[in-house]
Amino acid sequence: MDGFTIIIALCVGLFFVLTNIIKILKEYEKGVIFTLGRVSKKGAGPGLILLIPGLQRLEKVDMRTLVHDVPTQDVISRDNVSVKVNAVIYYRVVDAVRAKIQVENYMAATSQLAQTTLRSVLGKHDLDQMLQDREKLNKDIQAILDLQTEAWGIKVGNVEIKHVDVAPEMIRAIAKQAEAERERRAKVIMAEGEQQAAAKLAEAAHILATSEGSMELRYLNSLQEIAGQGTNTIVFPFSMEKISKKFLE
């Protein structure tokens, strides 16, 4: 073996040694250093990290907010309607050590937990609540996920339900239900209007019957309205009782 080959071999060996000794962590990364299998330094980095080759091992953890798209889940609502729901969750690692030693794969674990929690929470609500109270459901799911992932050093910042897809036949049934509900409300409003009108008419009749001179004023008002229509014949109603009283006087 000539000198040049020896130099090349030494350079290659030195390169591998240096790569095992020197590690560089980015600004958004933290490192967990294991010395003979035990955690010896928590939250190392960012920047330059020096390791003892063969004795220490570095595992990197991304501390940025991660976005995970929850796959579409089949959910049966409380009123037995089958829907397909998908969501997106935003979470980040707040404790790099726990994220490495408390769970094998915190990304996969958070994804699976999000799927089961999504089905569990939405299954307790009616379809109308899924469509109308989406903000409340987002907060409920986020609170449950955040509580359960705390032991893994994970902070769930937000959950957003993206789509709630209903089968076409159910959409038609919902449309019929909504139309029936609108008709019911229209009938109720009409009945309430007639009730109020009847009450006002009864009140007006009572005032006309008990107030002296009210009926004559009403007659004069009616006469004025008829005269304004340009007719040649005017029928002027008058109380026969009052006429009889006049003649008797």
Domain boundaries in the chain?
Answer: 3-60, 66-166
How far, in Å, are 120, 169, 175, 183, 231 from residue 178 at the CA level?
27, 14, 5, 9, 50
* 8 A C-beta contact, residue 204 and residue 223: no
Per-residue pLDDT, 160: 93
Residue count of the chain, please give it.
249
Q: Which residues of 165-178 are buried (b: 16+ CB within 10 A; e: fewer)?
A: ebeeeeeeeeeeee
Per-residue pLDDT, 223: 61
Residues 6+ apart with CB under 8 A from 111: 68, 70
Per-residue pLDDT of the chain (249 residues; tens, 9 = 90+): 566 677 776 666 666 666 678 888 888 888 888 888 888 766 777 888 888 887 888 888 999 999 999 999 888 888 888 889 999 999 999 999 999 999 989 999 999 999 999 999 998 988 888 888 889 999 999 999 999 999 999 999 999 998 888 877 666 666 677 778 778 888 888 888 888 888 887 777 676 666 655 656 666 666 666 666 655 565 555 555 554 554 445
- How far apart CA 137 and CA 215 sit, in angstroms, is 63
Topology at the third CATH level for domain 66-166: Tetrahydropterin Synthase; Chain A (3.30.479)
Residues 6+ apart with CB under 8 A from 184: none
For residue 62, give the nearest of 33, 29, 90, 31 by alpha carbon. Answer: 29
Per-residue pLDDT, 247: 46
